[in-house]
Chains A and B, each alone.
Chain A
Amino acid sequence: MYRQTEIVSDVTQLPPLGGGGAGYFTINVGPQHPATHGVLHLVITLNGETIINIEPHLGYIHRSIEKMCESLTYRQFIYVTSRMDYLSAHINNHACALCVEKGMQIEIPARAQVIRVLMDELTRIASHELWWGAMAMDVGAFTPFFHAFRERETINDIMEETCGARLTMNYMVPGGVMHDLHPNFQKRVKSFLELYKSKVHEYDELVTGNIIFQNRMKGVGVISAEDGIRNSRRFICKIYGAAEGDESIYSHYRTVN
């Protein structure tokens, strides 16, 4: 059985970090650690296996993009946005382009809008593929990673045909997109969708339906709706629909599982 995570909401009640109070154990995770997926440095206070306090140290990949952009034009800035969240380069480009368009009060052609949304959604799938692959890897299963990357590669190929890059696309620019879709785009997306649909049950069997995975994940890191909003975790709240009402994420989470 999994152990319920005990959440200490009042951090001031804790012994000072590094003080090694009775029963508490302080460890460093990162900045180079396989589970941080990137560079995050956490000073974690543990009570047994329960995390009671985390002190994050950020900035190991602070590239001072804001400073650079003081001397870039909006058009040049697009290239930097691709590198901000490299898993969803299109979405970053899109946000930047929308911002400029809104400021200039211009409306882009309908076709470009559709292309943008299509690209965003494909990137989102690709990004989530990496997320669940890596997530399963973190809890100890290596195979899902390969399955996830198989589909991710298919999307990358589609992207490559149209945008000319696999990861940092720079495809959306203020005023529309760089150029039209590749003639093969439609065909390939359709065949990808079919392939993807046929694989979803496989993922379910392999990961979400897996009893080991479930036991490891259930009840871990539960955040109340209130805390989620207070701490600005909009994304999590959106997923569990908690921001819509006062019902807690936890109860929702329980009903999902």
Chain B
Amino acid sequence: MTNEELKTKITELLPAATFEEGGEWLNINIEPADWLSFARQLRNDSSLYFDYLFCLTCIDWKTHLTMVYHLSSTKYRHNIVVKAKLDRNKPEIETVSHIWRTADFHEREVYEMFGVNFLNHPDLRLLILPDGWEGKNPLRKDFEDPVNMIKL
């Protein structure tokens, strides 16, 4: 599907979604509360069939956090980017690890790096950082570590 067709289709599924254009892929902004049902639709709808989550990350804008999901369909070869704005003080979003297995580890990584809490995640633990780092989120812009970090 082209970006235009995708846009029409997605507006049907989720009227609250807003779009950003200009990039190569269609960007969709959604509310975190809509994400789980929307993700299911994206995965299961026979004309969309986004079966491949190839990137899951988060951005710290200092005022808020944004979850970014890059989805692709191996059948129809179309891609979209889904973005959800989270509250920086209490970031929470539903996990999609049961829809796309790969999200399991990506979410653990985002959890430790940005402190986003993935609701209903089966195994939300530190993945990369050593034990004892719970609560310190290195990729937040205001992260300080006077012991290990030498600032330039």
Contacts and interface: CB of A to CB of B under 8 A. Distances in A.
A229 B129 contact: no
Contact of B101 (A64, A67, A230): A230
B118 to A, nearest CB: 17
B152 A230 contact: no
B52 A62 contact: no
A243 interface: yes
A230 B130 contact: no
Contacts of A70: 141
Contacts of B52: 229, 232, 234
Nearest to A103: B23
A66 interface: yes
Nearest to A225: B74
Contact of B138 (A64, A229, A243): A64
A225 to B, nearest CB: 9
Contacts, number: 37
Nearest to A70: B141
A232 B53 contact: yes
A58 interface: yes
B6 interface: no
Contact of B51 (A59, A66, A230): A230
A71 interface: yes
B139 A229 contact: no
A257 interface: no
A229 B51 contact: yes
A231 interface: yes
Contacts of A71: 152
Interface in A196-236: 227, 229-232, 234
Interface of A: 57-59, 62, 64, 66-67, 70-71, 227, 229-232, 234, 237, 243
Interface of B: 51-54, 74, 100-102, 113, 127-130, 138-139, 141, 143, 152
